[in-house]
Amino acid sequence: MLAQLLSLLESQSDGLSLFEVSRRMKVQPSALQPMLDLLVRKGRLVEIGPDGKCCTTCASVSDCNLLAARGKRYVTAR
């Protein structure tokens, strides 16, 4: 399943949100979140905000209104 998840995200240049991945893979978001978190920790994926900027390097990530409204997106690490 991790390979399928990576393959899906590699085909999306602007990344996908948790709910977009869930819908495309037909898997519950609660089952996908730990996999996405693992791939982020391993350096295979990067979390970005809806504006395309990397959330992990932003000092405002905890107060981000855009992130709160639209959520994170995931892209493959390049």
- The tens digit of pLDDT for each residue in 37-61 reads 999 999 999 888 655 555 555 555 5
What integer pLDDT is reported at residue 69 of this predicted model? 46
- Quick one: how far is CA 5 from the chain centroid? 11
Walk me through the domains of the chain, giving residue ranges and CATH numbers: 2-76 (1.10.10)
What integer pLDDT is reported at residue 60 of this predicted model? 54
CA distances to 26, 46, 47, 68 from 5, rounded to whole Å, are 11, 13, 14, 24
Q: Which H or E element spans position 73?
A: strand 73-76
Query: Per residue in 2-42, pLDDT tens?
Result: 999 999 999 988 788 899 999 999 999 999 999 999 999 99
> How far is 40 from 36, CA to CA, in rounded Å?
6
> How far is 32 from 1, CA to CA, in rounded Å?
10
